[in-house]
Amino acid sequence: MKTLLLCLTLWCTSLGLAETVGPCLGSVGSNDAYFLFRPGESELDLRLSVLSEAGKIVTSVDAKSVAANDFVARFHVTQLESGTRYRYQITERSPSGEPKLIAAGDDLKFTTVDASRKSKVTAVMISCVSKDDTAPVWEEIGRLSPDLLCLSGDTPYIDTAKLEDVRRKHRALLNEAPLASLARRTSVVGIWDDHDFGLNNGNGRNLQDGKAATRKAFVEYRSHRSYGNGREGVYHKTDHGAIEIFHLDPRWFSQSEPSPISPGEPSCFGKDQWAWILKSLKESKAPFKVLSMGAIWQDKKNSETDDMFTYWYERDALLDFIRRERIEGVILHGGDIHVSRHLLHPGRVGYDLHDFIMSPGHKRIIPSLNVYHPSLEWSLVEGQQFLTLEVDPTLEDPTLTVRFRQPGGKVNKTVVIRHSELVPPATPDLLRAYWPFDSDFANASPLGGRLDASAHNGAGIARDGGIRGGALQLNREQQQFVNIPRSFLDDNSAGHSISCWIKPGSLPAHGSKERHFILESTAEGKPDAKAAYHLSLELSQADDPQKVAIRLHSQTLKPASKPEAAPTPAVHGPFQTAHPRAQLENQWSHLTVTFDSEQLQLFLNGKPAGSHKLNPPGPAAEFGGLIIGGHRAGTGRNFDGLIDEVAIWQTVLSAADALELYNGGKAHPPTRLRKNR
């Protein structure tokens, strides 16, 4: 066989075909497969034949390597058997003589997808690769013999829309020896990100004149089942039985048309891709579904705008759709930022949403992009990384095992996800956080220990002093408070509510500048004066000396002020209503605050006490955690007295709900929510 391969190489050289590419295996289905092959700079009539393991030709398909497609021939073989191993070869067809064998060998082999979805599958995700220092990664991937390799953006770096240069860089990537060897026997598919789209931070607006050329070369050098809508974009999906990967295109349509979700703002995915995503997700039969793209789903927190935070309205509408349609088994994947991360968004789609970022495959890292996020579980700022997704559908409860890997067999992080963990409960619980303060600072909502509070400066529990059982006891002079280290709402939540009981031991003195904060959200899960609050509730002096003010503040997102810009926070408030001091001081009072992106409403002891319009309307700005008994910095504006039964809901409570919570004392689900469960 080595002699045959040598002869084939000499044959190519003798014809002056110095830059062959492939053969490369592309998309594979249960009864078909796609391939590409560039025999050099010659227009040849080619035939790809699929052989049984015994060497018998099963089927053949013809294609031509034409100059208009950079001499790349693409083959689509059909009528194959599900879950079957095959070999393949390529010959040159000649009307005047015997076919010439030009690509063959024991490594030209593949296996069709198991249509029953009962076979184990291993997929590899990688982004940000370079010719100089990704070779060890390709070699490591080759040793693992995965079923699928996903080139997930910046694969390769191109940064030009000059067609001949784009093609040359695609050829160079696929001709890297260890990757070329892998692609002969492993299904290789992918998507682009900004650099292989053609421009750093590129989008459909700033690369309007060049993206047709970069798309043409992408189509030539990726052997996929489909490319976008057939004319625009390159989105597609890979159904590999037990796992289906949706390769999303956040570049082609971005900034070039109105959003199908929010027509006054620019789209990321575009109307055609948006409809395709929703339809494909609903139709998917795979137990595990990966929404994959080169960009990340959260805010990069730098000067660039090529992340899904910029298009939060489409991101959140997509995740809301998954929750509303009760679509099982969804996880997120992104790349781009030269840092690897694992985030877990609690309850986001009816179940906890895993979000994996894999980057880079080369050695160049960007530590500044390893930023805080309330859902961050783990991160690693090192190069030469890749991700494996290993699905075992043979178990009673199928598993998806995700591993962050490096060359040398190194596994940096393993996450095992059971399919049952990615199934929305029959009775979803909208109570996202709940601190009863009966005996400790523990969170009693389904989010559990991640939201346990920590006491500061001697804050304690009055075990028999609460509205029911114990209560949080705070001394203003000692600047006591408790801190919740993580967020509990959806990113950029569009609707939520807070309820709590308070019994102030003292109130802000009339004519003073005293401010007694009941609670305020923090920027990063710890006391910090950074003005990044969204939830804010305080007591302050009112104009009438016999009254005290209950004040609300909030920050929301407002649309970008110009094309290719990021959304910015809008500050609202203070909104205040005045109430008799005698009604509040040393008396238990129940407060409910609701937020629906258009207004804040306050209920005092179950009755409406204030309604405040938000201008401009918008969802919550991102936040990290919560201070109870003080403002976001922790000390300086602390509450004095007792706070009890603090609850936060991922829904907008009604006036009837607020009244029922007041009458019930504890933060049990109101009747309306119990009926909807």
What is the tens place of the pLDDT at every residue in 470-491? Answer: 999 999 999 999 999 999 999 9
Band (pLDDT 50/70/90 cuts) for residue 668 is: low
Band (pLDDT 50/70/90 cuts) for residue 378 is: very high
Whole-number pLDDT of residue 623: 84
Residue 15 has pLDDT above 90, yes or no: no
pLDDT in tens, 481-536: 999 999 999 999 999 999 999 999 999 999 999 999 999 999 999 999 888 889 99
Residue 657 has pLDDT above 80, yes or no: yes
Whole-number pLDDT of residue 676: 44
pLDDT in tens, 268-297: 999 999 999 999 999 999 999 999 999 999
Band (pLDDT 50/70/90 cuts) for residue 97 is: confident
Please give the distance of CA 264 from its chain centroid, rounded to a whole number.
Answer: 24
Instruction: Give the DSSP H/E element, type plus range, for residue 276.
Output: helix 270-283
Whole-number pLDDT of residue 443: 97
Whole-number pLDDT of residue 269: 98
Instruction: Calculate the average pLDDT of the chain.
Output: 94
**Percentage of the chain lying above the pLDDT 90 cut:** 90
Residue 111 has pLDDT above 80, yes or no: yes
pLDDT in tens, 579-607: 999 999 999 999 999 999 999 999 999 99
Band (pLDDT 50/70/90 cuts) for residue 622 is: confident
pLDDT in tens, 209-263: 999 999 999 999 999 999 999 999 999 999 999 999 999 999 999 999 999 999 9
CATH of domain 116-422: 3.60.21.70
* CATH architecture group of domain 431-676: Sandwich (2.60)
Alpha-carbon distance 111 to 436, whole Å?
A: 56
Under a CB-based contact definition with an 8 Å cutoff, are residues 536 and 602 in contact? no
Whole-number pLDDT of residue 397: 98
Q: What are phi and psi of 615, to 5 degrees?
A: -130, 110
Whole-number pLDDT of residue 667: 61
Whole-number pLDDT of residue 325: 96
Whole-number pLDDT of residue 98: 81
The average pLDDT across 201-210 equals 96
Tell me the longest C-alpha to C-alpha distance in the chain.
106
pLDDT in tens, 322-340: 999 999 999 999 999 999 9
Q: At what angle do helices 270-283 and 312-324 cross, to 10 degrees?
A: 20
The average pLDDT across 302-311 equals 95
Domain map (residue ranges) of the chain: 1-113, 116-422, 431-676
Helical spans, DSSP H, in 36-188: 135-144, 163-174, 177-183
Whole-number pLDDT of residue 10: 35
Residue 665 has pLDDT above 80, yes or no: no
Whole-number pLDDT of residue 9: 39
pLDDT in tens, 556-587: 999 888 999 999 999 999 999 999 999 999 99
Band (pLDDT 50/70/90 cuts) for residue 670 is: low
Under a CB-based contact definition with an 8 Å cutoff, are residues 534 and 526 in contact? no
Question: With the C-alpha atoms ordered 182, 188, 191, 192, is the resulting torsion angle positive or negative?
Answer: positive
The average pLDDT across 351-357 equals 97
Residue 11 has pLDDT above 80, yes or no: no
Whole-number pLDDT of residue 382: 98
Whole-number pLDDT of residue 428: 80
The average pLDDT across 155-179 equals 97
Residue 671 has pLDDT above 80, yes or no: no
Q: Which of 343, 246, 341 is nearest to 289 (CA)?
A: 246
Question: With the C-alpha atoms ordered 677, 423, 486, 569, is the resulting torsion angle positive or negative?
Answer: negative
Whole-number pLDDT of residue 2: 39
User: Please, which residues have CB within 8 angstroms of residue 583's CB and are 6 or more apart in sequence?
Assistant: 589
Under a CB-based contact definition with an 8 Å cutoff, are residues 241 and 289 in contact? no
Under a CB-based contact definition with an 8 Å cutoff, are residues 5 and 32 in contact? no
Whole-number pLDDT of residue 1: 39
Confidence (pTM): 0.94
Considering the four listed CATH numbers 3.30.70.1050, 3.20.20.140, 2.20.28.120, 2.60.40.10, the one that applies to the domain covering 1-113 is 2.60.40.10
User: Please, which residues have CB within 8 angstroms of residue 97's CB and are 6 or more apart in sequence?
Assistant: none
